[in-house]
C-alpha cells in the first residue's frame, strides 16, 4: 500500500460501552457521531471535511489551506459502503455497531502531485546556504553569520501523512503540518571575529580586466566570484578552499557564459573569469608568505598575470587552496572595480619582505595549422588563434626578516606551459566580391615573457619592487626571430602580455 494513499482499510477504534438492544447503532466517522441509516450523513461528513483547514508551518511563516489544495480528498465510495454496512445488523459491521459501537476513520486519499508542487514551492522560499560571519574592512563591522537550511520534501510529506492520520480519526484534531527543515550551522560566528586585528597589509596584487561591452559577462563573473570570497577570515591553521567558497561555476550559482581556457584554447564556457580571481588571490597569498597547498598553472599563459603567479581552477577538479600558517587571523579581500581586480591579505602586522623570483628555463615553439572554412571566400585567410610558445618556468619565494637579518629561500614547483598552436581559417567558399572586407582575426599581440623577474613586497618596500631582465623571450619580435610562424596581425611594438594590459 502506498505511503501516501489514505484509501485506508476499515479501522476499528477502542470499543465504547455496550449499547442496549433496540437503540440506534453507535457509529462515529472521523470523530463525528453519525446515524448510518441517514442518507445525508455522508454528505454532511464530506462538507465538514472540505471546510477543515490544514496549516503548513515553516521558517517563512504559516499557510492555511483547504485539503483539496494539496490533493487530499475523501474516498466517497468507501465511506458510503461502510455506512451502509454499519446500518445493516446482518453484516459484521452492523452487528459490531449494535453490540459495541464503531469508531471509523474517515477514508482519505492523497494525490501526491499537488502536495509535491506545494512543498517544492516552500522549498524554493526556504532553502538558503549557511553563511559565515565576515569582517567588512571598509567599515570594520562584522557581518553576522547565517544558518543554512533546506526543506526536506519527503520528510515533510511524512508530516502531512501524520496530520491526515489525526484528522482521519478526529476532524477536530490538530491539523498543523510542521515542515521538515534540515539546518546547517555556519562555520564562522560573529563572536569569533569581534577582536580580530587586520590593520596591516600582508600581501596584495592587482590584475587588469577589459571594460568593453564584449567583456561584460566576464566582468560579471569576476564580481560574482569576488563577492563570495571578500571578507572571509581565516583563523590560525585554517585552509582557504576556492572551490568550496565559490561553488560550482553554473548559471544557478550566478555565473554567465564567458571565455575560458580549455585544452589550451580560448572557448566559451560558463564561469569564465573565475581563474583570474584565483590567480590574483594566489599572488596576494604568495606575497603574504602563506603556505600554498594546491595551485595549478594554466594550459597556456594568461594575458592578465605573469607566468608563475596564475592559478587555474575548474569545479570540482582543479582547486586553489592555501593555509593560514601564521599565529593570528588573516582577512581575505577581493575587489573588482575600475578595470582592476585587487586581492588583499590583511593581518595584525607585517614582519617580512617577500620576493617572487621567476626564471624562464626554456620554451617550446608553437606549430601552425590551417582549418578550411566554407563561410570565407576562396583564398581568404583569417587568424583564428594566435600561436603562443610553451614555457618551462622555475620559481622561488624568498622571505627576509629584516629585524633578525635572516632570509629563507623556498623553491616552488616548476611550471610547464604547453604551446598553443597558431590556427588560420582558410576560405573554401565562392569568389570574394570586389568590396569584400575580411573579418578581424585574433587580435592578441605576441606573447613575451621576461627571462628573469623579481617582484618584492613587504617591510621596507612601498608597493611592489620589480627587477626584470628581458633576455631572449622578453623582447617584441622574439618568436619570429626564433623561427616561429608570423601572424598577419603584427605585434604591437614595445608591448608585452606580461605588461598586464587590459
Q: Are residues 362 and 322 in the same domain?
A: no
Q: Are residues 407 and 304 in the same domain?
A: no
Residue the block writes with cell 449494535? 98
Here the cell at position 463 is 608597493
Query: Ranked by mean pLDDT, which of 267-271, 366-370, 485-489 comes out on top?
Result: 366-370
Determine the Cα–Cα distance for residues 369 and 349; give it in Å rounded to an integer: 54
Q: Evaluate the CA torsion angle 149, 155, 160, 166 in order and state its sign.
A: negative
Q: Give the mean pLDDT of 66-77.
A: 92
> Is the pLDDT confidence value at 500 over 80?
no
- Supply the pLDDT for residue 261: 58
Top pLDDT among 87 and 391 is at: 391
* Residue 390 forms part of a structural domain: yes
Res. 277 pLDDT band, cuts 50 70 90: very high
Q: Give the mean pLDDT of 21-42.
A: 82
Top pLDDT among 337 and 136 is at: 337
Res. 259 pLDDT band, cuts 50 70 90: low
Res. 495 pLDDT band, cuts 50 70 90: very low
Question: Which helix (H) or strand (E) is 107 found in, with range?
Answer: none
* Residue 152 forms part of a structural domain: no
- Supply the pLDDT for residue 14: 32
Decide which of 108, 143, 176 is a domain's last residue: 176
Q: Are residues 368 and 257 in the same domain?
A: no
pTM: 0.74
Parent domain of 169: 27-128+161-176
pLDDT tens per residue across span 366-398: 999 999 999 999 989 999 999 999 999 999 999
Q: Which of 280, 216, 217, 281 is nearest to 249 (CA)?
A: 217
pLDDT tens per residue across span 312-334: 999 999 999 999 999 999 999 99
Q: Is the Cβ–Cβ distance between 247 and 375 less than 8 Å?
A: no
CA atoms within 13 A on the CB side of 81: 10
* Residue 374 forms part of a structural domain: yes
* Residue 14 forms part of a structural domain: no
Q: Are residues 369 and 400 in the same domain?
A: yes
Say which residues have a Cβ less than 8 Å from residue 218's Cβ, sequence separation at least 6.
209, 210, 258, 259, 272, 273
- Supply the pLDDT for residue 1: 38
- Supply the pLDDT for residue 235: 94
Res. 11 pLDDT band, cuts 50 70 90: very low
Of 180-184, 266-270, 318-322, 375-379, the poorest mean pLDDT is in 266-270
Of 171-175, 207-211, 343-347, the poorest mean pLDDT is in 171-175
- Supply the pLDDT for residue 12: 36
Going along 403-460, which residue ranges are E strands?
A: 406-417, 422-427, 452-458
Q: Would you tell me how many other CB atoms lie within 10 Å of the CB of residue 154?
A: 10
Q: Are residues 368 and 462 in the same domain?
A: yes
Q: Are residues 260 and 360 in the same domain?
A: no
* Residue 399 forms part of a structural domain: yes
Q: Is the Cβ–Cβ distance between 66 and 48 less than 8 Å?
A: no
Q: Is the Cβ–Cβ distance between 240 and 234 less than 8 Å?
A: yes
Q: Are residues 104 and 200 in the same domain?
A: no
Q: Are residues 340 and 375 in the same domain?
A: no
| pLDDT > 70: percent of the chain | 90
pLDDT tens per residue across span 138-166: 787 899 999 999 999 999 999 999 999 99
Query: Ranked by mean pLDDT, which of 97-106, 133-142, 363-372 comes out on top?
Result: 363-372
Q: Are residues 63 and 168 in the same domain?
A: yes
- Supply the pLDDT for residue 307: 96
Number of domains in the chain: 3
Mean pLDDT computed over every residue of the chain? 88
Q: Which of 288, 299, 293 is nearest to 354 (CA)?
A: 288
Say which residues have a Cβ less than 8 Å from residue 90's Cβ, sequence separation at least 6.
none
> Is the pLDDT confidence value at 270 over 50?
yes
Q: What do you get for the CA distance between the two ends of the chain, in Å?
A: 66
Decide which of 301, 320, 350 is a domain's last residue: 350
> Is the pLDDT confidence value at 496 over 80?
no
- Supply the pLDDT for residue 110: 87
Please state the separation of Cα 138 from the chain's center in Å: 26
* Residue 489 forms part of a structural domain: yes
Q: Are residues 355 and 335 in the same domain?
A: no
Backbone angles phi and psi of 415, in degrees to 5: -100, 135
Whether omega for the bond prior to residue 281 falls within 30 degrees of 0, making it cis, is no
pLDDT tens per residue across span 211-224: 999 889 999 999 99
> Is the pLDDT confidence value at 338 over 50?
yes
Q: Is the Cβ–Cβ distance between 254 and 224 less than 8 Å?
A: yes
> Is the pLDDT confidence value at 5 over 90?
no
Q: Which of 193, 197, 169, 12 is nearest to 99 (CA)?
A: 12
Q: Are residues 466 and 345 in the same domain?
A: no
Res. 175 pLDDT band, cuts 50 70 90: confident
Q: Are residues 216 and 172 in the same domain?
A: no
148 CB burial (10 A radius; 0-12, 13-18, 19+): middle
* Residue 298 forms part of a structural domain: yes
Of 47-61, 234-248, 311-325, the poorest mean pLDDT is in 47-61
Decide which of 350, 380, 415 is a domain's last residue: 350
Q: Give the mean pLDDT of 82-111.
A: 88
* Residue 7 forms part of a structural domain: no
- Supply the pLDDT for residue 95: 85
Amino acid at each position: 500500500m502506498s505511503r501516501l494513499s489514505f484509501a485506508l482499510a476499515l479501522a476499528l477504534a477502542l470499543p465504547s460501552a455496550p449499547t442496549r438492544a433496540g437503540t440506534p447503532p453507535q457509529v462515529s466517522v472521523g470523530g463525528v457521531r453519525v446515524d448510518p441509516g441517514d442518507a445525508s450523513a455522508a454528505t454532511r461528513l464530506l462538507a465538514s471535511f472540505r471546510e477543515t483547514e490544514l496549516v503548513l508551518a515553516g521558517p517563512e511563516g504559516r499557510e492555511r489551506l483547504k485539503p483539496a489544495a494539496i490533493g487530499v480528498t475523501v474516498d466517497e465510495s468507501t465511506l458510503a459502503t461502510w455506512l451502509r454496512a454499519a446500518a445493516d445488523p446482518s453484516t459484521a459491521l452492523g452487528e459490531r455497531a449494535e453490540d459495541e459501537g464503531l469508531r471509523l476513520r474517515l477514508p482519505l486519499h492523497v494525490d501526491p502531485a499537488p502536495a509535491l508542487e506545494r512543498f517544492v514551492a516552500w522549498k524554493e522560499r526556504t532553502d538558503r546556504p549557511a553563511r559565515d560571519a565576515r569582517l567588512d574592512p571598509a567599515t570594520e563591522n562584522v557581518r553576522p553569520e547565517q544558518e543554512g537550511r533546506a526543506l526536506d520534501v519527503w520528510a515533510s510529506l511524512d508530516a502531512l501523512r501524520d496530520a491526515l492520520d489525526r484528522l482521519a480519526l478526529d476532524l477536530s484534531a490538530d491539523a498543523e503540518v510542521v515542515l521538515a527543515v534540515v539546518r546547517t550551522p555556519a562555520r564562522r560566528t560573529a563572536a569569533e571575529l569581534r577582536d580580530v586585528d587586520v590593520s596591516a597589509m600582508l600581501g596584495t596584487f592587482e590584475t587588469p580586466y577589459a571594460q568593453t561591452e564584449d567583456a561584460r559577462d566576464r566582468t560579471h563573473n569576476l564580481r560574482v566570484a569576488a563577492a563570495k570570497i571578500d571578507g572571509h577570515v581565516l583563523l590560525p591553521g585554517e585552509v582557504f578552499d576556492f572551490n568550496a567558497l565559490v561553488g560550482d561555476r553554473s548559471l544557478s550559482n550566478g555565473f554567465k557564459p564567458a571565455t575560458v581556457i580549455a585544452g589550451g584554447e580560448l572557448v566559451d564556457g560558463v564561469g569564465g573569469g573565475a581563474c583570474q580571481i584565483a590567480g590574483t588571490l594566489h599572488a596576494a597569498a604568495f606575497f603574504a608568505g602563506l603556505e600554498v597547498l594546491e595551485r595549478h598553472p594554466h594550459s597556456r599563459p594568461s594575458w592578465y598575470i605573469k607566468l608563475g603567479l596564475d592559478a587555474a581552477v575548474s569545479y570540482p577538479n582543479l582547486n586553489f587552496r592555501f593555509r593560514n600558517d601564521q599565529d593570528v587571523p588573516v582577512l581575505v579581500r577581493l575587489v573588482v572595480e575600475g578595470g582592476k581586480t585587487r586581492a588583499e591579505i590583511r593581518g595584525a602586522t607585517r614582519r617580512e619582505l617577500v620576493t617572487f623570483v621567476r626564471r624562464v628555463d626554456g620554451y617550446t615553439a608553437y606549430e601552425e595549422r590551417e582549418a578550411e572554412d566554407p563561410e570565407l571566400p576562396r583564398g581568404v585567410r583569417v587568424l583564428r588563434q594566435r600561436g603562443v610558445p610553451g614555457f618551462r618556468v622555475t620559481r622561488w619565494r624568498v622571505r627576509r626578516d629584516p629585524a633578525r637579518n635572516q632570509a629563507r629561500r623556498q623553491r616552488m614547483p616548476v611550471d610547464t606551459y604547453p604551446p598553443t598552436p597558431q590556427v588560420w581559417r582558410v576560405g573554401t567558399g565562392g569568389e570574394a566580391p570586389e568590396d569584400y572586407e575580411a573579418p578581424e582575426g585574433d587580435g592578441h599581440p605576441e606573447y613575451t615573457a621576461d627571462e628573469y623577474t623579481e617582484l618584492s613586497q613587504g617591510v621596507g618596500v612601498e608597493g611592489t619592487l620589480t627587477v626584470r631582465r628581458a633576455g631572449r623571450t622578453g623582447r617584441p619580435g622574439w618568436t619570429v626571430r626564433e623561427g616561429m610562424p608570423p601572424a598577419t596581425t603584427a605585434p604591437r611594438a614595445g608591448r608585452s602580455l606580461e605588461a598586464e594590459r587590459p
